[in-house]
Amino acid sequence: AQSVTQLDSQVPVFEEAPVELRCNYSSSVSVYLFWYVQYPNQGLQLLLKYLSGSTLVKGINGFEAEFNKSQTSFHLRKPSVHISDTAEYFCAVSGSSGTYKYIFGTGTRLKVLA
């Protein structure tokens, strides 16, 4: 079974400042990892994913994340945020073979301040 922990429920940051949203996972099998973004009253949109290969993954809107197997982490980063990045961000994990359940964290609300 897999689980995901997003320790920060809210992260305020000023516009043009860097941000890191933390995600830790646990799993007894190899995993796929995902970050999704949710804007108010909308569904979830994929930001980026790690399936295999390079541990540094680049996604849309200037976001990137690094898969760290030893620390079981998949933190999301952006070097300079915009007001439009204000949203809820969800980390998710699924097993990479033989399993099918996608487990989501509780989310981190990013609030970008002018």
Element (H, E) at 46: strand 44-50
Query: Rounded to whole angstroms, how far apart are CA atoms 80 and 61?
Result: 11
Q: Which tokens belong to 100?
A: 């099918």
Q: Is residue 40 close enough to count as binding other proteins by CB under 8 A?
A: no
Q: Is residue 50 close enough to count as binding other proteins by CB under 8 A?
A: no
Instruction: Give the shortest CB-17-to-other proteins separation in angstroms.
Output: 25
CA distances (Å), origin 9, targets 51, 85, 102, 104: 26, 16, 20, 14
Q: Which of residues 85-114 bind other proteins (CB under 8 A)?
A: 90, 92, 94-107
Q: Is residue 45 close enough to count as binding other proteins by CB under 8 A?
A: yes
User: Which residues make up the interface to other proteins (CB under 8 A)?
Assistant: 6, 32, 34, 36, 41-46, 49, 51, 90, 92, 94-107
